[in-house]
Structure 1
Amino acid sequence: MIHRVWRFCKDENVTLLYDYTGTLKSKGKYIHDNGNDYIIVQAGLPELEELKVILHELEHVRHGDIGFYNSLQILKVEASANKDGISNLISLLATEEIPQPNYLKIAEYLGVDPEYYKPTICEALQKYQTEY
């Protein structure tokens, strides 16, 4: 499954790098430099966590989140990347190994707050069930 996400990055012209040094202070980071997009991921994460991080950072690329932001703007940008990243992750998992199609089980599986992400999860599930 991780290979499909690597392909997403390649399709978006994003260079995916892994931090094996431990200098990255978070699980992942998006950097836009000289017209190039990079996603740096902490090496050694469990596969599901790695998928969540890459898809989250990829949403920053898609949204064009390259500016400087104040605290409130950062919260909004991060919430948007989380929402879209989780929706994409559910769609990806649905084709591979989705747990029972119940938002509580999926939220638990993804390690996210079930009430906060209920609309996102239910919308992604509905989309998946309609497509398949």
Structure 2
Amino acid sequence: MTVLLIALGAALGAPLRYLTDRAVQARHGSPFPWGTLTVNVAGSLLLGGLLAAPVDPAVTALVGTGFCGALTTWSTLSYETLRLARTGKRRLAYANAALSVAAGLGAAFLGYALVTALTG
């Protein structure tokens, strides 16, 4: 049953990641991967909140592993960072890596703190 919940969450998270990435990126004329940053930070916020919430393990599988796992994307972050560096945009590559890690961790802490305050 857990595997089915993870698959269901992933089936929702992956298309949302793609659609969000394309919508955000279309609004910027920059080579900086704003779409990937957006989905990664949003997923980190949600996952941080989920960690603080008193939920059933099935919800954690569905939302945490499935949905957030498919919504966020470390591999695309890595690919886009390397692509920036290989095309001579090293400052953007460094900024992407640093901003992604800092904003992702910050969002996870914020999500955790918000849910803790609300359920606390």
Superposition TM-score tier, normalisation by shorter sequence: 0.3 to 0.5
- TM-score of the superposition, structure 2-length normalised? 0.32
Q: Larger relative CO (CA 8 A, sep 6+): 1 or 2?
A: 2
Greater strand share, structure number:
1
- TM-score of the superposition, structure 1-length normalised? 0.30
Greater helix share, structure number:
2
